[in-house]
Amino acid sequence: MRDILPDEAARWRAVENVVHQVMQAFNYREIRTPVMEQTELFARSIGELTDIVSKEMYTFTDRSGDSVTLKPEGTASALRAYIQGNLGEQGSLTKLYYMGPMFRQERPQAGRLRQFHQFGAEALGAMAPELDVEMMLIPLTMYRNLGISQTSLLINSVGCQRCRPPYKELLRRELRKVRAHLSDDSQARIEQNPFRVLDSKDGGDRKATASMPLMKDHLCAECSAHFARVQELLKKLNVPFEIDGRLVRGLDYYTKTAFEITSKDLGSQDALAGGGRYDLLVEELGGKPTPGVGFAAGMERLMIVMEKRDTTVPGPSGPKIFLIGLDGPSRTWAFETACALRARGIPAETDYLERSVKAQLREANRQHAEFVLVIGEEELKTGTGKVKEMKTGRENTVSLKTFVQTFS
Q: How far apart are CA 306 and CA 13, in angstroms?
A: 14
DSSP code for 287? S
Beta bridge partners of 315: none
Site string for ligand HAM, 237-256 (x = CB under 6 A): -------------xx-----
Q: How far apart are CA 235 and CA 233, in angstroms?
A: 5
The reply on whether position 23 binds ligand HAM by CB under 6 A is no
The reply on whether position 275 binds ligand HAM by CB under 6 A is yes
CB of 13 to ligand HAM, least distance (A): 19
Rounded to the nearest 10°, the torsion over CA 381, 383, 389, 395 is -90
The reply on whether position 273 binds ligand HAM by CB under 6 A is yes
The reply on whether position 324 binds ligand HAM by CB under 6 A is no
54 to each of 44, 50, 59, 65, 285, how far by Cα in Å?
A: 12, 6, 11, 20, 19
Sign of dihedral through CA atoms 282, 288, 294, 299?
negative
Closer residue to ligand HAM (CB): 208 or 281: 281
Q: Which uninterrupted H or E stretch holds 185?
A: helix 184-192
Instruction: Measure the CA angle with vertex 133, ends 129 and 138; round to 5°.
Output: 145
Three-state DSSP class for residue 53: helix
Closer residue to ligand HAM (CB): 17 or 109: 109
Q: How far apart are CA 157 and CA 276, in angstroms?
A: 9
CB of 330 to ligand HAM, least distance (A): 50
Biggest CA–CA distance in the chain, Å, is 95
Closer residue to ligand HAM (CB): 294 or 325: 294
CB of 141 to ligand HAM, least distance (A): 17
Interface residues for ligand HAM in 46-85 (CB under 6 A)? 73-75
According to CB under 6 A, which one of 134, 244, 252, 300 is a site residue for ligand HAM? 300
Q: How far apart are CA 200 and CA 125, in angstroms?
A: 33
Closer residue to ligand HAM (CB): 71 or 189: 71
Closer residue to ligand HAM (CB): 72 or 319: 72
CB of 385 to ligand HAM, least distance (A): 51
The reply on whether position 287 binds ligand HAM by CB under 6 A is no
CB of 32 to ligand HAM, least distance (A): 16
Concatenate the DSSP letters of all residues of 218-270 into one string.
S--HHHHHHHHHHHHHHHHTT---EE-TT---S-TT-EEEEEEEEETTS-S--
Binding-residue total with ligand HAM (CB under 6 A)? 27
Closer residue to ligand HAM (CB): 118 or 186: 118
Q: How far apart are CA 295 and CA 98, in angstroms?
A: 11
According to CB under 6 A, which one of 128, 271, 313, 390 is a site residue for ligand HAM? 271
According to CB under 6 A, which one of 139, 291, 298, 325 is a site residue for ligand HAM? 298
Site string for ligand HAM, 107-146 (x = CB under 6 A): ----xxx--x-x-x-x------------------------
The reply on whether position 276 binds ligand HAM by CB under 6 A is yes
CB of 317 to ligand HAM, least distance (A): 27
DSSP code for 107? P
DSSP code for 37? E
Closer residue to ligand HAM (CB): 99 or 273: 273
Half-sphere exposure of 318 (CA within 13 A, CB side): 16
The reply on whether position 291 binds ligand HAM by CB under 6 A is no
Closer residue to ligand HAM (CB): 75 or 157: 75
Closer residue to ligand HAM (CB): 75 or 360: 75
The beta strands (E) that lie in 104-185 are given as 115-124, 151-157
CB of 39 to ligand HAM, least distance (A): 17
**Positions that interact with ligand HAM (CB under 6 A):** 73-75, 104, 106, 111-113, 116, 118, 120, 122, 250-251, 271-276, 294-298, 300-301
